[in-house]
Amino acid sequence: MMELNALKDFIVTGKLEEAKQVVNAAISDGVDAQYIINGYLIKGMEEIGRRFEEGKAFVPNLLLSARAMKGCLEILKPLLKDASGASLGTLVIGTVKGDLHDIGKNLVASMLEGCGFEVINLGVDISDSQFVEAVQQYNPQIVCLSALLTTTMNYMQNVIDALKEAGLRDRVKVLVGGAPVNEDFARRIGADGYSSNANGAVVLAKKVLGVC
Ligand code: B12
């Protein structure tokens, strides 16, 4: 467990290989993937975010931390898979236009996938028309929107409006999330739900589809 404690620091300092080694060792010791993510990886990202806010870390530091986090998630993702293989529904997810943050969005996508949803991950910087096209193409039950910037969160409203204009709004539930988003904002823009974290996103997705 001593080694696992170093994981948060390896995320903060962006040491990809060292972080991956700890994750692999923890898996071999039978440590739960979810526990590694919530207890160490997310804590590391929170810490580097704090340092950035205080002017003690800079964009290159964020990029190194993000790279280390992503490398670890790649190892852990298969372990989040649901063993039953049954699909609870299809879901489209993306980070909205102007926003390049994808760690949280990918974590949400992995958790949903792991819990039995078929997930179409559109990536980052996704425009309202791209979301509309994806709904037309994949016919999902849920659209998940992510935003990490106060300047881009308002674009979620554009996506909802575009879905309405395309006559698709009644066919999908829209869930929103990301650090600056909250319940009140979600209600104001006409979304169907909000969660502050990936575990909550799964509960919410099941709830809006009535499968829990
Ligand atoms: C890593 C990071 C970056 C990396 C992103 C790398 C990547 N591939 O994602 C890089 C270096 C690229 C970056 C760039 C910038 N960043 Co930045 N970044 C961060 C940082 C430190 C961590 C974000 C993160 O990954 N958190 C960890 C994940 C796990 O958490 P999360 O994203 O919040 O996701 C969770 C929940 O929100 C939720 N969730 C997320 N999406 C969804 C969706 C749904 C549907 C649901 C239900 C839930 C949900 O579940 C997730 C898992 O639990 C944050 C600080 C912070 N504390 O958030 C700043 C932060 C978001 N960045 C910030 C800024 C200012 C920028 C830049 C403008 C900096 C610059 N001057 O260039 C650029 C913008 C680039 C752009 N156009 O997007 C500010 C935003 C301030 C604001 N109020 O708008 C923050 C808050 C830092 C700060 N305190 O100043 N950044």
**CATH code, 105:** 3.40.50.280
* Buried b or exposed e, range 20-58, using 16+ CB within 10 angstroms: bebbeebeeeebebeebbeebbbebbebbbebeeeeebe
Contact 92, 185 (CB under 8 A): no
Closest residue by Cα to atom 38, ligand 1, is 197
Atom of ligand 1 nearest to the CA of 145: 45
Q: How many domains does the chain have?
A: 2
Q: What is the reported pTM? A: 0.91
The percentage of the chain sitting over the pLDDT mark of 70, rounded to a whole number, equals: 96
pLDDT for the residue 131:
98
Atom of ligand 1 nearest to the CA of 65: 1
Whether residues 18 and 67 fall in one domain: yes
| Out of 70-84, 115-129, 141-155, least confident range | 70-84
Whether residues 164 and 95 fall in one domain: yes
Whether residues 56 and 102 fall in one domain: no
Q: For residue 105, what are the domain limits?
A: 89-209
Whether residues 204 and 105 fall in one domain: yes
The percentage of the chain sitting over the pLDDT mark of 90, rounded to a whole number, equals: 78
What does the pLDDT average to over 42-70?
91
Tell me the pLDDT of the chain averaged across its residues: 93
Atom of ligand 1 nearest to the CA of 152: 84
Assign 211 a pLDDT band (cuts: 50, 70, 90): confident
CA–centroid distance, 95 to ligand 1, in Å, is 11
